[in-house]
Each structure stands twice: as structure tokens, then as C-alpha cells.
Chains A and B, each alone.
Chain A
Amino acid sequence: MSAGLASRAESLRRSAIAGACFLSFGILAAVGACLALPLLLVFTRRADREARVRGLASLGFRLLIRMIETGGLARINVCSEGVPDLSGCLLVANHPSYLDAVVLMAHLPHVNCVMKASLLKHPLFSPFTRLGGYIASGNGEPEKLIEACRQAHARGEPVLIFPEGTRTTPGQPLRFRRGAAQIALRAGLRVVPVIVQCEPAALTHGHPWYRMPDKRIHLVIRFAPPRDVADFAGQGAQPANNARLARQVTRGLENYFIRHLASKLHDAPPPP
């Protein structure tokens, strides 16, 4: 068998395993929504409800990751040593793959997340995303978004955001939208850069689950220590002008990520 054919066969085999993993996960989510969620709604106090729902979603993601690892599809390292308490911080992550969001939400059971409003309407996931109190963006209600982040901060929840607004387009320069900087500045959150590296490219735009790579994916997620958002603005920043500061911070964050993504995959935390 030629090398090309062997690689295609291996890729196909991995896609079949991925399909099985996601199908199982979909069934799990449907069962969870029909059985576990109603029980949880009956037996938990209203005040705890959102955190419990997020805990349940996180459990589901942990099971999905277990399947993905057991199936030999991916090797996953999450490196957060030396990073203190994340409560009330804005976790700013690049988003090369569908997998990184899954791993982050599995790793941080109580994390809140800013997500596309469309995910809050997704037929399978909306019972969890709505009841979990996740934060919607891109629905033309920026004040509500900022206020929701301020409240999450007040409750001590870490808030995860993907400043690209969608998954990274492979081969294109990294480009952040300004939402993350705007939220950190206006809701007063400290920033934790979360650097995600994934090789080879998988589960991204142009790499759906049925086109898995022909070898095991290596996903490394590194947490940097929390920093004041204004630290990313550099010299000459004007503290009184949030709109301008958001532009400077966004450029600073982009450069920070470009610098750290340029390094080879390794499991050490990035320097502050």
C-alpha cells in the first residue's frame, strides 16, 4: 500500500472514531437534558442552579475528552501550575480547534463563558447553555454583555472568552476582535492569557470531524498569571478613554499571543 493511501486510511479510521465519540456525546447531552437537568432543577436551590448546570456540562465534556483520549485521537496537556486563583478573572484564549473549548470547560467546572448567541439557541446544547447562565455576545446588546460579565466577576466566576469571536482560520494571521479588551476594561476584570496550541490542525474551520488528521492530535493549553488589562496597552495609554484603550489592549494581546504561539509546543507555562 502506498504511503498516501495508508495515510488516507488512517485518517478515515480516526474520523470514524471521532464520529463515534461525538455521536455518543450528542446522545449523552440529549439524555442529560431529558433526565439529569429536570432532576437538578427540582432538587437544587435557585441560587446554585446555574453553577450546578455548568458543573453538569463540565462533567459531560470530561466524558467526551475521556473518549477522545481513549480512542487515541488526541493527547491533551493543560498546564496551569504557578497560576493562582482564577476567580473573577477574564480568561482570554485563542481558539484553534473545537477541542480547546471542550477541554477548558471540562478543566474548569465553574467557568462562565461568553458565547455566540447562536450557541444559546442550539437545539442540543441550549438547555445547558441557557440554564447554565452563560453569557451571550453578538446579539446587539452590548450593555447586557458588560453587565453580565460584571456580575460573574462579582460572584467570583472566571469568565472565558475567545477574542477571535470564532475558531482560528488556519494559515491566516491571528486577529482579535475588541470584545475581550472592552469587557476587561469596562467590567474591571483582570486578564489571564490562555495559550492554546494544537498540532496538527484539527476540528477547525475546514477540518471537520469527518476529516481528522492521520495522526494523534497534540493539544497544549497554558495559563499565564493574571495581569491588569491596562498592562497590555503599552506606553502612552490614556486611562480615561476606554474605546481607545480597548484598541491598544487588543493589539497588545494579539502581539502577546503571536509571540507565544510562535514557540514550539511545550508544556511549560508562559512567562508573565
Chain B
Amino acid sequence: MSPDDLSARFRDLLVERFELNPADIHPDARLYEDLDLDSIDAIDLTIVIRELTDKKVTPQEFRDVRTVGDVEREIRRLLDAD
């Protein structure tokens, strides 16, 4: 999957899982403040990331992730680790 495809797939999943408005999702959007995710949603976010990367990830690894762009970078990092 190309980085663009991956981003698109990730954003679709965000919209579907968290009822977000696609227009609100951009790399600088902050997950908690701008997109109104809560700490329990963060568990589901790691599930989304697991689905996209097929890697086992824990919420702890994503503790420092703040924005949509941060998550996308993490996903790419996980995939590049192969």
C-alpha cells in the first residue's frame, strides 16, 4: 500500500469508528482536543492501527501521539520496520 493509500484508509477508518467529519481530519488535527477522542477511544485507535499494520501495538506505545499526522507517521514506521 502506498503512503497515500494508507492515509486514505486510515482516515476512512477514523470516520467510520469515531463518527468524525472527514473535513476535520488533517495532519495537524489533535486527537483529543480537536477530534474529541477520549482515553477509551485510544484503545480503539490502537485496534485500528493493528488492523492497518497487522502489528501488535499497545496504547502505551501511542502515549505521546497527539495529532493525526503523528499517528500516520507511527503507522508508516511500523510498516517500514519489516
Q: A242-B44, A243-B44 are in contact. Are A142 and B39 (CB under 8 A)?
A: yes
B40 touches A142 (CB 8 A): yes
**Which of B17, B38, B43 is in CB contact (< 8 Å) with A179?**
B38
B19 within 8 A of partner (CB): yes
Cβ contacts under 8 Å, A242 to chain B: 44
B18 touches A182 (CB 8 A): no
B38 touches A182 (CB 8 A): yes
A142 touches B42 (CB 8 A): yes
B40 touches A178 (CB 8 A): yes
Most buried by B among A142, A143, A243: A243
Per the CB 8 Å criterion, the residue count for chain A at the interface is 17
Cβ contacts under 8 Å, B17 to chain A: 241, 243-244
B interface, over-half SS = helix
Per the CB 8 Å criterion, the residue count for chain B at the interface is 13
Q: Which residue of B lies closest to A244 (CB)?
A: B19
Closest approach, in angstroms, between the C-beta of A137 and any C-beta of chain B? 9
A227 within 8 A of partner (CB): no
Q: Which residue of B lies closest to A141 (CB)?
A: B39
B40 touches A247 (CB 8 A): no
Q: How far is the CA of A182 from the CA of B39 in the complex (A)?
A: 10
A→B interface (CB under 8 Å):
138, 140, 142-143, 145-146, 177-179, 182, 186, 241-244, 246-247
B→A interface (CB under 8 Å):
16-19, 38-44, 59, 63
**Extra inter-chain contacts (11) besides given A140-B63, A242-B44, A244-B19, CB under 8 Å:** A142-B43, A143-B59, A179-B40, A241-B17, A243-B17, A243-B18, A243-B41, A244-B16, A244-B17, A246-B41, A247-B19
